[in-house]
């Protein structure tokens, strides 16, 4: 979407008119640190079982796996986890694990990428398997890589990757819409990132009343307005408003995303309402988790969709300027002593 041509405005609960503003500036995005490439000489710095690295040949690899402390009772040379790291892509290696005649290993995916040449010594790889390292992999149980973020689980080596793809402690991607932001982290970190780096509107409370303004709406078919973040029930919610083409029809769409997992999101309900000239449209639904990208939610049409002509009708006047007021609320379903569900609005 072209953010430079978008005039965007999001207001708090006060029902006040605001003029158009020029497209908001792009803010600097923070990148995740790159994972260091695996090097055979890397020192042991991870909390995994330690072993000697061994030198040369399949037998040396096996000796490295089985070895104890170094000569003189010193610390082991490397860890099993490091031995199972592919030196090309740094991902964990799964059988078949390949090696050259000098004992350098790499994963099967990278074997094709390096054109059958060892990336370490440039010898031809052939079809030698490192059976010793494959056996070690089968016997390992390792903690989830998100253990530092709170995951307590330990898995067999072959189950670890599958778990990590769905781990509830894995970082969330930045929910900012309108530009690609590579930042990821836990919810408190992302809230600070949205506030400090993207300069989004931050509000407290479970009701809202926003006015979205655009002076030349018929000239803009794809646009994203500034994200708004709400804090209520001890949680954070992101309100999105976008213009795009639905088939051949220009439309506007408003929807809410929950800053947390999908299971938690199901505890909440929200409603959106637009109207004018004696007419109104209402949407009610469950907020989607930010695990789903804003584009995925938009393309699934899971929100309040307003045809452009209807939005201009709601705006009043000569219908040449968008002045669309979107009101809404967020609530949490609770069960009373009789077993009936009642909405709980935040104070």
What is the tens place of the pLDDT at every residue in 187-231? Answer: 999 999 999 999 999 999 999 999 999 888 888 888 899 999 999
* pLDDT for residue 35 is more than 90: no
Which of 19-28, 127-136, 309-318, 322-331 has maximum average pLDDT? 322-331
Q: What is the pLDDT of residue 160?
A: 84
> For 250-277, how does the pLDDT look when each residue is reduced to its tens digit (9 = 90+)?
999 999 999 999 999 999 999 999 998 8
Whether residue 73 has pLDDT greater than 60: no
d(CA 288, CA 268): 10
Tell me what the mean pLDDT of segment 279-285 comes to: 94
Does the pLDDT at position 46 exceed 80?
Answer: no
> For residue 14, what is the enclosing H or E element?
none
Residues whose CB is less than 8 angstroms from the CB of residue 169 and which lie 6 or more positions away in sequence, other chains included: 144, 146, 149, 150, 151
pLDDT for 61 beyond 70: no
At residue 346, the pLDDT reads: 61
Q: How far apart are CA 99 and CA 96, in angstroms?
A: 10
Residue 48 in this model has a pLDDT that exceeds 90? no
Give the closest residue to 239 by CA, choosing from 189, 177, 183, 184. Answer: 177
| pLDDT on residue 336 | 62
Rounded CA gap, 276 and 156, in Å? 60
Rounded to 5 degrees, what are φ and ψ at 304?
Answer: -85, 115
Q: Is the pLDDT of residue 341 over 70?
A: no
Please state which of the ranges 123-127, 155-159, 246-250 shows the lowest mean pLDDT.
Answer: 155-159
Give the model's pLDDT for residue 137.
Answer: 81
Mean per-residue pLDDT of the chain = 77
The least confident of 91-100, 185-194, 229-238, 281-290 is 91-100
């Amino acid at each position: 979407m072209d953010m430079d041509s978008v005039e965007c405005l999001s207001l708090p609960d006060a029902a006040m008119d605001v003029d158009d503003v020029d497209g908001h500036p792009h803010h600097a995005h923070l990148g995740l640190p790159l994972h260091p490439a695996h090097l055979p000489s890397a020192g042991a710095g991870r909390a995994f079982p330690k072993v000697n690295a061994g030198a040369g040949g399949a037998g040396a690899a096996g000796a490295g796996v089985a070895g104890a402390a170094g000569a003189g009772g010193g610390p082991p040379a490397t860890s099993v986890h490091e031995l199972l790291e592919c030196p090309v892509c740094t991902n964990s290696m799964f059988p078949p694990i390949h090696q050259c005649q000098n004992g350098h290993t790499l994963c099967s995916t990278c074997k094709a990428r390096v054109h059958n040449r060892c990336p370490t010594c440039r010898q031809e790889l052939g079809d030698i398997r490192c059976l010793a390292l494959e056996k070690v992999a089968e016997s390992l149980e390792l903690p989830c890589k998100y253990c530092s973020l709170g995951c307590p689980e330990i898995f067999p080596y072959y189950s670890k990757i599958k778990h990590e793809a769905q781990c509830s402690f894995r970082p969330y991607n930045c929910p900012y819409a309108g530009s690609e932001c590579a930042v990821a982290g836990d919810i408190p970190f992302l809230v600070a990132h949205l506030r400090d780096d993207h300069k989004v509107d931050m509000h407290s409370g479970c009701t809202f009343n926003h006015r979205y303004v655009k002076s030349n709406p018929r000239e803009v078919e794809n646009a994203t307005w500034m994200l708004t973040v709400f804090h209520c029930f001890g949680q954070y919610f992101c309100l999105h408003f976008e213009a795009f083409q639905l088939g051949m029809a220009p439309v506007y769409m408003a929807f809410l995303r929950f800053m947390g997992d999908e299971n938690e999101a199901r505890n909440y309900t929200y409603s959106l309402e637009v109207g004018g000239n004696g007419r109104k449209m209402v949407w009610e639904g469950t907020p989607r988790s930010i695990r789903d990208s804003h584009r995925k939610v938009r393309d699934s049409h899971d929100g309040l969709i307003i045809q452009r002509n209807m939005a201009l009708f709601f705006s009043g006047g000569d219908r040449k300027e968008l002045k669309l007021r979107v009101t809404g609320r967020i609530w949490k379903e609770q069960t009373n002593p009789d077993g009936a569900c009642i909405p709980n609005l935040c104070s």
